[in-house]
Amino acid sequence: MRFNHLPARAQVVRGPDERLRGMKYKDVKDLNDLDDKKFLLRYAFGFFETFKGLIPGLLLSSQDRQLSRDFFLNRTQNDTYKLIEIELSLMYEVLHTKVAVVRCWAGFIFRSISSISVVVALLTFVFVDKRGFRKFDVHLTYVLFIGALILDALSVIKLMFLDRTVAALENWWAEFIAHTIIKNRRWSETFYRCDFLTYCLKDFPKWITHMANLFWAGILLDRLKIMQSLSSEQFNEDLKKFIFEELREKSLAADNASEIAKICSSRGDWVLGHLSVDSELKRSVQDEFNWSVQEPTIMAAVSGNWKMVFQDTCAEAKRFFRNNSCSEPSGACVEILKINSDIKPGAVKGDVSKSVLFDACRLAKQLSKLEEQNQWKLMSKVWLELLCYAAVHCRANVHAQQPSKGGELITLIWLLMNHFGLGIQFYEANAARIKFIVKK
């Protein structure tokens, strides 16, 4: 402004005070449980309208974070998961169906015109002279008209039973419908586990690998190998309780922006800082336990060079298992624990190989020194923290794609973390801003 010789002054503008903001969800904070299923749908829709901005990468205010955090900290485990599932269902409707078009006035008008046209065409065909037409053709035409009317009727009924439609109803039977549709399962409630040992041990014969490479089908063969080592696991009540309690504990601890950033950027170190473990084990977990998922778009958020790490580790594991005549996972585990872990792997392999096989061997030996209960406690907590790190750091469009594939556990955790206030897409709304005022 000074270089253009314009008279201007700078004014510090404070953000809106949270006390002046309309508390959209204040009346529900005193409830112990959302027994009214219609209100459960309404609050899920309200939160979705606010948090859908996360999908295109928008930033939400600290007030939005605080309102959501206070709300979910006072909810039960069942209500929390049901709210998240309804929001994922709404995400699917908005992103992968034509619900938004059908529910608008233009969609309603065009659908009405379409249905009326079918009825008019049917009545015209009923009263028209059908002499000269074969009986089979006439009957087939009636069947097609009736089929079109049935499809229209089903689409209208389905539209009436949508979550947002039922939430807007005030009729006496709205609660009954809400109670019925909430019982429906909203996602697959399963996730896949990749067994690394099975992947390395169960290899195809060399001639099949050679033929696949000859016809440029090596990637397809590799995908088949991964499918053989995958197993479907149920998202059971114990796992639900564990994830809910862990994220709730972190949400209670995240009372400022720096603590939130620390939790969201942790890949095991936040958990280890709250557990009494040996310093050597703590350092080993932080350095070596840094990749755990196979989805490429998600894995890129955890480790930038994950593909090279995975390939080098697989190659080294196959050589080790072949040299020690290992054919079963149980035998492979025994041989791994026999490795001398006194010498650090980096001193032997140098910087050429990115394999973490022998780093994992050192970690396994250190974990074996703990009691069995503490072993599983440590591994489960670190596993969840790695999953949380991947959830909040992978691109939002990856999460947006998952509802059309039946849903992913990592997407559910991403939405649950943000509702607990554990996200990286929030800004401090009370922060001061500089406003330049140019005088005329």
Query: Can you give the pLDDT of all 440 residues of the chain as single tens digits?
Result: 444 555 656 555 444 434 333 334 444 444 444 555 667 777 888 898 899 889 888 888 888 999 999 999 988 898 899 889 888 888 888 888 877 777 778 888 888 898 899 999 999 998 888 888 888 998 999 999 999 999 988 888 777 777 666 665 555 555 556 556 666 666 778 888 888 888 888 877 777 877 777 777 777 877 787 788 888 888 889 999 999 999 999 999 988 888 898 898 888 778 877 776 666 666 666 555 444 445 555 555 555 567 787 888 888 888 888 888 888 888 888 888 888 777 666 666 666 677 888 888 888 888 888 887 788 888 888 889 988 988 888 888 888 888 887 778 889 999 999 999 998 888 876 655 555 565 55
pLDDT at 252: 93
- Rounded CA separation 422/311 (Å): 33
Query: Contact 358/364 with Cβ under 8 angstroms?
Result: no
Coil vs helix vs strand at 436: strand
Q: What is the pLDDT of residue 121?
A: 92
Quote the DSSP letter at residue 404.
G
How far apart are the C-alpha atoms of 108 and 124, rounded to whole Å? 24
Identify the bridge partners of residue 234 per DSSP, sorted by sequence position.
190
Nearest Cα residue to 368 out of 336, 400, 391, 394? 336
Bridging pattern class, strands 426-427 and 230-234: unpaired
Q: What is the pTM of this model?
A: 0.77
Bridge partner residues of 9 (DSSP): 437
DSSP summary character for residue 295: -
Burial 283-302 (b: 16+ CB within 10 A, else e): ebbeebbbbbbbbeebbbbb
pLDDT (0 to 100) of residue 251: 93
Please name the amino acid found at residue 435. K
Identity of the residue numbered 186: R
Q: Which amino acid is at 406?
A: G
Taking the chain, what is the end-to-end CA distance rounded to the nearest angstrom? Answer: 13
Residues 6+ apart with CB under 8 A from 343: none
List the beta bridge partners of residue 11: 435
pLDDT value, residue 243: 94
DSSP labels, 88-139: HHHHHHHHHSSHHHHTSHHHHHHHHHHHHHHHHHHHHHHHS--TTS-HHHHH
What's the pLDDT score for residue 205? Answer: 77
Distance CA 230, CA 132 (A): 62
